[in-house]
Copies of this chain bind each other. A is one copy, B any other.
């Protein structure tokens, strides 16, 4: 299967999801909890509609794969899997349900672990931006090559930070230039890849592999660094029950962030 075939498949899936959820954006019924998902968090109606749209495209496609997704967990499609297709049907469900224009669909294609992802694809469902990367071949936003920033001073950083603890917050609105929390980790990590932001920190122990698998390869191919909070590379099985802490950056500030976050 060639790169363009993979990306066409990702594009078909995200287009179908966009169509399927368009009537649900901002609607109360979109946020009705149907059950607990395989990832241990509630499955809302909009999540299920999006996941079903994806499955429908993948079943029609005819290739054999292991489908890994937040709501149903794992599903074999076809015979012996050629690859693993990792999906968060909607990343930013709270935003989508409340018509806050910030949510995306991240897709990663790999084997069995976060460390062997080959393709990453993230579509911003609001404005249509597509971020993608193939291992070893660079990262792109709408076919334009992207690259991380080169800011290295803490005081000049624009940071996406979910690392809030009550009495010792290392990164905050008083010591960096800008802190934002948009509520869609997949898309936020792409902003670090494209150099709009310099770092992303999530120390809540809540991120799933479906949130970060696609953006991880996009960020790395854009020159960035992504590790856990000990500075270790992320070796995590493609299992939606796993939770990780993430420190991601342009690379130039990574060691400084690791120091501050250990203090935290």
Binding site for B on A (CB under 8 A): 94, 98-102, 124, 126-127, 129, 162-170, 172-175, 178-183, 191, 196, 204
Contact = CB atoms under 8 A, between A and B. Distances in A.
Most buried by B among A102, A124, A163: A102
- 7 nearest interchain CB pairs? A164-B172, A164-B173, A181-B181, A101-B101, A98-B196, A101-B126, A180-B181
A193 to B, nearest CB: 13
Contacts of A196: 98, 100
Q: Which secondary structure dominates where chain A touches chain B?
A: loop
Contacts of A129: 99
Given A101-B101, A179-B181, A168 B165 contact: no
A196 B95 CA distance: 10
Copies held by the complex: 2
Contacts of A170: 166
Contacts of A179: 162, 164, 181
B102 A102 contact: yes
Most buried by B among A101, A174, A182, A204: A101
Nearest to A98: B196
Given A167-B169, A178-B183, A180-B182, 17 more contacts: A98-B196, A99-B127, A100-B182, A100-B191, A126-B126, A164-B172, A164-B173, A165-B172, A165-B174, A166-B170, A166-B172, A167-B167, A174-B204, A179-B181, A180-B181, A180-B183, A181-B181
A162 B179 CA distance: 8
Nearest to A183: B180
22 contacts: A94-B178, A98-B196, A99-B127, A100-B191, A100-B196, A101-B102, A101-B126, A101-B127, A102-B102, A126-B126, A162-B173, A162-B179, A164-B169, A165-B169, A165-B174, A166-B170, A166-B175, A167-B167, A167-B169, A169-B172, A174-B204, A179-B181
B174 A164 contact: yes
Nearest to A125: B101
A167 B168 contact: yes
Nearest to A203: B173
Most buried by B among A169, A172, A173: A173
A169 B100 CA distance: 26
A12 to B, nearest CB: 23
Contacts of A98: 191, 196
Contacts of A169: 164-167, 169, 172
